[in-house]
Amino acid sequence: MKKNFYITTPIYYPSAHPHLGHAYCTTLTDIIARNKRMRGADVFFLTGLDEHGEKIQKNAEAKGVSPQEFVDEVAVTFKELWNKLRISNNDFIRTTEKRHLSTVQDIFSKFVKDEDVYLSAYKGWYCVHEESYWTETQLGPDHTCPECGRPVEEKKEEAYFFSCKKYLDDLLKLYEENPKIIVPVGRKTEMINNFIKPGLNDLCITRTSFSWGVPIKEKEGHVIYVWLDALTNYISALGYGKKDHSLFDKFWGEDSEIVHIIGADITRFHTIYWPMFLKALNLREPDEVFVHGLLMMKDGKMSKSKGNVVYVEPLIERYGVDAVRYFLGREIVFGQDGEFTPEGFVERINGDLANDFGNLLNRTLGMIGKYFDGVIPSRNEADFTDLDRDLLEKGRVAARSYEVLFDDLKVTESLAKAMELADEANKYIQERAPWALAKDESKKNELANVMNILASILFEVGMLLSPALVEKSEGLFDQLGLDKEDRTYEKAVSLSSLEGTKTQKGEPLFPRLDVVKETEAIKEMMAGPKEKAAA
Ligand code: ME8
């Protein structure tokens, strides 16, 4: 693990209230950022909004407000949601900010000077919704957008183009040399087969038919076409090209690990054009572009335009932020598409959090209370049995696998690993049967060992889950009676003895949900008037 770690989400379009799909990407990125911080990395986590473009301009017109007023209003809803979800981003970039705008203009000017761009005319099939031009061969049936299925329109206008041909060899070399540049690898094959093999066209990077964008200095009437504007956020936020570029030097330098987390819908822009722009700027590429899957509903991708979105606020209100965060991290394998269902949500919370995790906590603290007046007893290795040694060893192995999995961005598997350890500890309770040991005075030492080991394992499980369970992990540490300064990753995974600590058994952290009632409640949220639910 490198010391400096830079991680980003896509910058979302503030075209409407954010939904669970946006929350999915931001939460997963947050879980990774928190994991790396907890393990000692110096992390910079960026998210933000992509505020220009024809779609935003049209939405604002429809609402009778200026585009700036429109995005200002929606920006608040994104920021509020990230607060509610306890997102720990270090910065929030908006592409209408001056710090970003001037960087985009400077980059375009450099491209002009270096002859990376040229003026021409663009003729093609354009999808207003996706803000993408498509070639004839890429179109869906009856001239529809291959991404969203809407009809496309034929357009011709004067435009600047970025010369992709100039950087194609570099891109292919990058694909060869860095297997992580597109993860999962299947997405790379898609890029090669769908876009590169058919012949990569140069990329249109200015437009003249709408005005809501970054104006270029070189020619009246041209604004930067969204993707050059949007992708630049990853470096403008760090101060690239500015007087104070210390953050840029630190987090875009060779000593930094750079990871972009994106959804499958925007892979092309991040893994073809972005590396080319960076090459043209003589800048290093990211280490990894991780493509997560999409949250689907029974009728397809969750999206505002399909009218099937699930809003996050009512879920947080009813089940708490950690239930939502844990569900998102654990239920849908990071990197694959997944379906949101009310049943899946309730089962996941009950099965993992109320049963496995909650039971371990309640039983352990209950027994420490009953047998040792709530004070964690000491351990005596001379009286260890194989089962004791075995559980401690499993705890050590779990921490190591968890780290390897996390560094591979296998977030779902890492959380599952932590939960497996909770399962092991529950099994251990059954096998060691402390209630039987308690009846035998000669087994007092063994009973103390069991309780001591369980407390250490519980501490570890809580720590491993803490990037997802940001509030309840603290609740668990409170109940274990740990001082604030002792709540460190190193201490937790060292599994050292917590003897003498006074535990404070409290309310169950995750009460069991009534399956029928809660499934209905979530269905109600999904069916209810959407705007009201989101308000
Ligand atoms: O594409 N499931 O913005 P956007 C999972 N501004 N993730 C989803 C999702 C779903 N149903 N719906 C959206 C843009 N997302 C550009 C990005 S980046 C330089 C510019 C997430 O508002 C997913 O991460 O359409 C997807 O890539 C992103 O939101 C797209 O957000």
Q: Is 455 in the pocket of ligand 1 (CB under 6 A)?
A: no
- pLDDT per residue over 46-63, tens digit each? 999 999 998 899 899 999
CA of 21 to the centre of ligand 1 (A): 7
Place of tokens 């993408």: 132
Decide whether any atom of ligand 1 lies within 6 Å of the 11 Cβ: yes
Taking all residues of the chain, what is their mean pLDDT, rounded to a whole number? 95
Cβ of 263 closer than 6 Å to ligand 1, yes or no, is yes
CA distances from 494 to 22, 396, 397, 400 (A): 36, 8, 11, 11
Distance 22 CA to ligand 1 centre (A): 6
Q: Is the dihedral of CA 369, 371, 373, 376 positive or negative?
A: negative
For the stretch 247-287, pLDDT in tens is 999 999 999 999 999 999 999 999 999 999 999 999 999 99
Q: Is 295 in the pocket of ligand 1 (CB under 6 A)?
A: yes
pLDDT digit string (tens) for 313-326?
999 999 999 999 99
**373 CA distance to ligand 1 centroid (A)?**
52
Among 153-157, 448-452, 453-457, name the one with the lowest average pLDDT.
Answer: 153-157
User: Residue 454: is its pLDDT beyond 70?
Assistant: yes
Average pLDDT rounded to a whole number, residues 100-116: 98
Q: Which residues have C-beta within 8 Å of that of residue 484, sequence separation ≥ 6?
A: none
- Return d(Cα 519, Cα 278) in angstroms, integer: 48
Three-state DSSP class for 535?
A: coil
Question: Is pLDDT at 75 greater than 50 in this prediction?
Answer: yes
Percent of the chain surpassing pLDDT 90: 88
pLDDT tens digits, residue range 136-175? 888 999 999 988 899 999 988 899 999 999 999 999 999 9
The residue that leads in pLDDT, 94 or 122, is 94
pLDDT of residue 241 exceeding 80, the answer is yes
> What does the pLDDT look like over 208-240, one tens digit per residue?
988 999 999 999 999 998 899 999 999 999 999
CA 312 to chain centre: 15
Q: What would the two tokens of residue 511 be? A: 């009460």
Query: Strand 42-49 to strand 4-12: parallel, antiparallel, or no bridges (unpaired)?
Result: parallel
| pLDDT at residue 307 is higher than 90 | no
Query: Considering the entire predicted model, what is its pTM?
Result: 0.94
pLDDT for 528 equals: 55
Q: Token pair for residue 53? A: 């473009």
CA 26 / ligand 1 centre spacing (Å): 10
String of DSSP letters for 347-399: HHIIIIIIIIIHHHHHHHHHHHHHHHTTBPPP--GGG--HHHHHHHHHHHHHH
Measured in Å, how far apart are the chain's first and last C-alpha atoms? 41
Ligand 1 lined by 231 (C-beta under 6 Å): yes
pLDDT digits (tens, 9 = 90+) for 431-445: 999 999 999 999 999
| pLDDT for 533 beyond 50 | no
Q: Report which of residues 408 and 131 the model is more confident about.
A: 408
Ligand 1 center to residue 188 CA distance, Å?
Answer: 19
Closest to 248 (Cα-Cα) out of 257, 239, 259: 239
Using alpha carbons only, what angle is made at residue 166 by residues 160 and 167, rounded to the nearest 5 degrees? 105
Cβ of 302 closer than 6 Å to ligand 1, yes or no, is yes
The string of pLDDT tens digits covering residues 358-393 is 999 999 999 999 999 999 999 999 999 999 999 999
Quote the crossing angle between the two packed helices 411-432 and 444-465, to the nearest 10°: 170
Mention every residue, 6+ apart, whose C-beta is less than 8 A from residue 177: none
Residue with tokens 């009856």: 142
CA atoms within 13 A on the CB side of 472: 25
Task: Report the 10 Å Cβ neighbour count for 68.
Answer: 13
Residue 305, pLDDT > 80, answer no
pLDDT at 534: 45
Per cent of the chain over pLDDT 70 is 99
C-alpha pair distances (Å), 306 with each of 183, 298, 309? 28, 12, 8
What pLDDT does 458 receive? 98
CA 295 – ligand 1 centroid, Å: 11
